[in-house]
Amino acid sequence: MKVSLELDKNMRFIGKDSRNHLTYFDTTDKVGGDDSAATPMEVLLQALGACTLMDVVSILRKKRKTVEGITLLIEGKRAENHPKVFTDVHLSFELKSPDAELKDLERSIELSESTYCSVSAMFKRSGCNMSWQAKIL
């Protein structure tokens, strides 16, 4: 797997993957950015969310459950000193489904967290405390 990054302007960078998909990064004006895109740490949380949601939706669909919608709110707490790594991350899942039960969603999350989500494994191996909650709408 290879990606590249290029300076666009100020502190804004454009990342490109091997298929030419673009990802934009920036920072706040306090440190020379324009606040025009997510910060690298925000993108890490988004990557965690995307990874686990892809697993959860796939598992639910394999169980033949209908996924009308799913949202995930992620809150991350960072260390006070540099490097300011994530120390705690909490994920709140909300599934909209006419036929899935809470146990289906919870089991899908557990499988993602324990087996399938590589990004979750990276967070855990760094020493980050991970927690989650789930509900059906």
At residue 130, the pLDDT reads 97
Alpha helices in the chain (DSSP H): 40-62, 102-111, 118-125
Q: CB–CB of 109/57 below 8 Å?
A: no
Q: CB–CB of 113/48 below 8 Å?
A: no
Round to whole Å and give the CA distance between 122 and 137: 30
Q: How far is CA 55 from the centre of its chain?
A: 12
Identify the residue whose tokens are 């302007």: 9
pTM of this structure: 0.95
At residue 50, the pLDDT reads 98
At residue 127, the pLDDT reads 97
At residue 72, the pLDDT reads 98
Q: How far is CA 125 from the centre of its chain?
A: 16
Q: How far is CA 133 from CA 4, 84, 89, 130, in A?
A: 35, 25, 12, 11
Identify the residue whose tokens are 């324009």: 34
At residue 103, the pLDDT reads 98
**pLDDT tens over the chain, length 137 residues:** 999 999 999 999 999 999 999 999 999 999 999 999 999 999 999 999 999 999 999 999 999 999 999 999 999 999 999 999 999 999 999 999 999 999 999 999 999 999 999 999 999 999 999 999 999 99
